[in-house]
Chains A and B, each alone.
Chain A
Amino acid sequence: MAKPDAKADLTPAGQAVQDKPGHSGDWNSAPALVQVKNLKVYFPVYGGLFRRVRGYMRAVDDVGFSVPEGSTVGLVGESGSGKTTTGRSMVRLVQPTAGEILYRGRDVVGLSKREFFPYRKRMQMIFQDPFNSLNPRMSVEKILTEPLGIHFPRMSADERHMRCARLMEMVGLKPDQLRRYPHEFSGGQRQRIGIARALAVEPEFIICDEPVSALDVSVQATIINLLQDLQEELGLTYLFIAHDLAVVEHISDYVLVMHQGRIVEQASSEVIYSAPQHPYTRQLLEAVPRL
């Protein structure tokens, strides 16, 4: 699988010039924070009387890409394309069958649970479904202090409370809402709480798994803006997973198109939009509604 470095031709003439401050220039000028090489995730398919393994479902099949520090890499594909599995395998929610995931050059796939623990602080995840991603039985404060208790065990109760209040402000919520429970918030607000939870441990890299797909378009825009503001403020690196190419193209510096477990095309978002190579990418582009 071609490494992104191989496709360095990124600013074709006549294209819209990237005007995101802080990310001007080549997407790959920054060193890679995360590199995925030949990642394979196969799920056994059981069958027969004794539940023998009959075959394998190749959810992710030989996928490679790299995520430069401080950038946003978009991962698009339809449901079942393996994009969520790719994201999940990076934070060990799914065990890869083969391949390497290099975090700052160190392969984290083979690490033991204890060795991997420090990486849990560096990599975080935001989930799609704002109705299910927060424990309905926990108050917002409890939701936000949970990661603090794990990664900052020496923090005092006061410090934790202060940090929670600060997190709420960062995601545009009021600190006095900390005592409320998830069902008292709207979908967009819950997604903000989910973002705050991910930010609590001061991560470097956040995997956003369809963070806006379940939201109204109007709320979608505010969440996307929030993610971009946070990236500028905190220097975060994102892997942004979505099925909507328009959203991905908007937020990402670099886009990976995934289809049936493989990456069929990867290029900067301008190139993807102006000169799509793979027929599937073209299909995705055509599906985006035009006003």
Chain B
Amino acid sequence: MLKHLFKEITRRPMGVACLAILAALYLGTVFSQFLAPYLPTDQDLSSAYPPPTRIVLEDWRPHVQVYEQVDPAAARYEPGEGETAPIKFFAAGDEYRFWGFIPAQMRLFQVEEPHRIYLLGSDGTGRDVFSRLLYGAQVSLSIGFIGICITMTLGFLVGGIAGYFGGKTDFLAMRLVEFIIAVPSLYLLIALRGALAERFEPEQMYLVIVIILSLIGWAGAARIIRGMALSLRQRPFVLAAEVMGQSSLRILFRHFLPNLASYLLVAATLSIPAYILAEAALSFLGLGIQEPGTSWGLMLQQAQELKVFTLNLWWLLTPGAAIFITVITFNMLGDVLRDIVDPRQQMVKR
């Protein structure tokens, strides 16, 4: 089925575009440590808010323009005439641990100290926005994935079990779902976050947020899946499995899951943006990822200052653009998937 889906997606220009963008985003996330010239915490306090560095060609090799600070208060920089530094590709930089455990130094590109390269400028403490975007993507893009996995698993289990067993099980499961849907989720989030903040390290906060978001999110999915399971339950092939003595758990996973898979996939694709936006919103409110960590929402929070607008520091808003692109892409991919899945269901019917 996945093969079929993939083939159908690649037949549609929109699907190919969405897949390409997402592939680029996620590859960037996976290899962020290699792609980013600096660590997200690397500071250069000598210059605040430098603009994106211009890249010039000298002797057919790319060089970075060296800037001089003209007015520290207004964050004005002037390119120094004739002053450039060569960009070194696959050069060693500060040591880091690739994916957390492989010690490495190699980076895609570096500039000799004391010069620095800011592809998308830097913030008030001289941290490279481009590097921070890549590192922030690790949080912002994975939160949707992990969140949706938990949500859909819980939703499928509770909804599937409720729909399959019916009766009292169904009654209890659905009352639980209603209870969770009725809980004011933003308030719960803020309260839980506040209560738990003291007990967790900032890095663990990421997990806490994912878990809170998915524990709230599964209820809606469970309700829809329960409805689908109720109708699947009456389908003769499920009855046949029962007549042959198949166990309930196996019926759930062998007969229900594959037939709900297309729905789950579409729903998951369409709900990932919600998680990305929720993380961004929480971090923006100061309830999400904390310094020294980084995420797109947190970066946007730092771009709240009036200065960003008065001095036209547009590069600090790039996390917003990144969120925008990601969310739009996921939504469009979800639409493409739904188009593929829906007519097929009609075809199967007759």
Chains A and B share a contact (CB less than 8 Å)? yes
Q: Which of B40-48, B183-191, B232-240 lies on the face that meets chain A? A: B232-240
Contact of B244 among A88, A132, A146 (CB under 8 A): A146
Q: Does B258 belong to the interface (CB within 8 Å)?
A: yes
Find the A residue at minimum CB distance from B239.
A93
Tell me the residues in window 125-141 of chain A with beta carbons closer than 8 Å to chain B beta carbons: 125, 127-129, 131-138
Tell me the residues in window 145-183 of chain A with beta carbons closer than 8 Å to chain B beta carbons: 146-147, 150-151, 183
Contact of A91 among B243, B259, B347 (CB under 8 A): B243
* Chain B neighbourhood of A146, CB < 8 A: 241, 244, 246, 254
* Chain A neighbourhood of B259, CB < 8 A: 135-137
Q: Are A132 and B240 in contact (CB under 8 A)?
A: no
* Chain A neighbourhood of B241, CB < 8 A: 146
| A93 and B246 in contact, given A132-B236, A136-B259 (Cβ under 8 angstroms) | no
How large, as a class, is the contact surface on chain A?
20 to 34
* Chain A neighbourhood of B347, CB < 8 A: 183
* Chain B neighbourhood of A117, CB < 8 A: 245
CA separation between A131 and B348, bound complex, in Å? 8
Contact string, A180-222, partner B, CB cutoff 8 A, digits 1/0?
0001000000000010011011000000000000000000000
Q: Does B306 belong to the interface (CB within 8 Å)?
A: no
Q: Are A135 and B258 in contact (CB under 8 A)?
A: yes
Contact of B236 among A123, A133, A183 (CB under 8 A): A133
* Chain A neighbourhood of B245, CB < 8 A: 117, 120-121, 147, 150-151
| A197 and B235 in contact, given A135-B258, A136-B259, A150-B246 (Cβ under 8 angstroms) | no
Contact string, A24-52, partner B, CB cutoff 8 A, digits 1/0?
00000000000000000000000000000
The count of residues in chain B whose C-beta lies closer than 8 Å to any C-beta of chain A is 21
CA separation between A93 and B245, bound complex, in Å? 11
CA separation between A115 and B101, bound complex, in Å? 54
Q: Are B239 and A125 in contact (CB under 8 A)?
A: yes
| A151 and B244 in contact, given A129-B236, A131-B349, A135-B255 (Cβ under 8 angstroms) | yes
CA separation between A132 and B348, bound complex, in Å? 9
Q: Does A124 belong to the interface (CB within 8 Å)?
A: yes
Q: Are A132 and B246 in contact (CB under 8 A)?
A: no
* Chain B neighbourhood of A88, CB < 8 A: 239
Q: Which residues of A contact B (CB under 8 A)?
A: 88, 91-93, 117, 120-121, 123-125, 127-129, 131-138, 146-147, 150-151, 183, 194, 197-198, 200-201
- 9 tightest A-B contacts by CB? A120-B245, A137-B258, A127-B236, A133-B236, A147-B244, A135-B237, A125-B243, A91-B243, A132-B236
- A sample of 7 inter-chain contacts (CB < 8 A) reads A88-B239, A124-B244, A125-B240, A129-B236, A135-B258, A194-B240, A197-B240
